[in-house]
Amino acid sequence: MHEMSVAMEICRIAEEHLGLHSLGRVREIGLVVGRDSGVEPDNLAFCLDALLDRPPFGGARTAIEITVGDELKVSYLEIDDDGPPN
């Protein structure tokens, strides 16, 4: 199941973004997953749920948009900028 490695990379991207901008915590991660991307959206969501339950995410949600084609990208990060995570 390579969705776990994809989920770990998505979390790395989010953590990097938080660190670069000294932001609070991620509340939601928006993803675009193409039907021909080779990624199973339900498996990816399951893996992300497990990873996003820990700091610095603290239960962030995922929003997956399924499209045609082979696209796979982080489309947005919703950040809670009230301060750093606990």
Q: Got the DSSP string for 8-71?
A: HHHHHHHHHHHHHHT--EEEEEEEEEETTSS--HHHHHHHHHHHTTSTTTSS-EEEEEEESSS-
Tokens 């990624």 label which residue? 39
pLDDT number for residue 74: 96
Query: What pLDDT score does 28 carry?
Result: 93
**Is the CB of residue 48 less than 8 Å from the CB of residue 81?**
no
Q: In terms of pLDDT, which residue wins out, 2 or 34?
A: 34
- State the pLDDT at residue 42: 96
Q: How do residues 3-35 score in pLDDT, each as one tens digit?
A: 999 999 999 998 888 776 666 778 899 999 999
Report DSSP state, residue 3: H
pLDDT in tens, 29-86: 999 999 999 999 999 999 999 999 887 787 899 999 999 999 999 999 998 766 554 4
Q: Which domains, from first to last, does the chain contain?
A: 3-80 (3.30.2320.50)
pLDDT value for 86: 46
Question: The pTM is what?
Answer: 0.84
